[in-house]
Amino acid sequence: MYAAHLAKVAVDPETGDVRVLEYVAAQDVGRAINPPAVEGQIHGGVAQGIGWALLEGFEYDENGQNLTATLMDYALPHSFDVPNITPILVEVPSGVGPYGAKGVGEPPVIPVAGAIANAIYDAVGVRPSEIPITPERLFTALQ
């Protein structure tokens, strides 16, 4: 399973806010039996990866109490957090999957944080090393 992901971001150096403007995901999908469904899986995986990279994280108070235990407190990406995603299906049929198919729902999640962190580095010269890349963390790193 191979992938190459590219992100284009806008970074506000005065606040540390990051917006993903465009995203390209080239993904080894095995044989794409149903290309629109495969593209949908890539879209969903990238959206989840954006959440991991920029929003999702457990926060605890000084006593170890989880402050993000419900969906009211745990940040997930909204539709306006997810940019236009261009999926590129790379078909390298699997010798073990049915009809040469490979799993495509989960693999697109993994490269997203690295792609966004590299885009941030390209934009402002600071390489984030911890996720989620919150505005507070990035603002501190920019100082």
* Pairwise CA distance, residues 136 & 139, whole Å: 5
Provide the pLDDT for residue 62.
96
- Rounded CA-CA distance 124/6 in Å is 16
- Provide the pLDDT for residue 70: 87
- Identify the pLDDT of residue 57: 87
Cα angle, residue 115 at apex, residues 21 and 15 outer, rounded to 5°: 55
In this prediction, residue 65 carries a pLDDT of 94
Integer Cα distance of 96 and 94 in angstroms: 5
Q: Where are the domains of the chain?
A: 3-142
| CA 16 vs CA 29, 41, 42, 120: distances in Å | 35, 30, 28, 10
Q: Which residues pair with 6 in a beta bridge?
A: 24
pLDDT of residue 1: 78
Provide the pLDDT for residue 113.
97
Q: How many CA atoms lie within 13 A of 127 on its CB side?
A: 4
| Active-site residue flag, 130 | no
pLDDT string in tens for the chain (143-residue length) = 789 999 999 999 999 999 999 999 999 999 999 999 999 999 999 999 999 999 998 889 999 999 988 888 888 898 999 999 999 999 999 988 889 999 998 999 999 999 999 999 999 999 999 999 999 999 999 99
Entry pTM: 0.91
Question: How many alpha carbons lie under 13 Å from residue 63 in its C-beta half-sphere?
Answer: 2
- pLDDT at residue 4, rounded to an integer: 97
As a whole number of angstroms, the distance between CA 4 and CA 135 comes to 26
pLDDT reported for residue 125 = 97
CATH class of the domain comprising 3-142? alpha beta
- Of 14, 56, 59, 106, the catalytic one is 106
| Dihedral pair phi/psi, residue 116, rounded to 5° | -70, -45
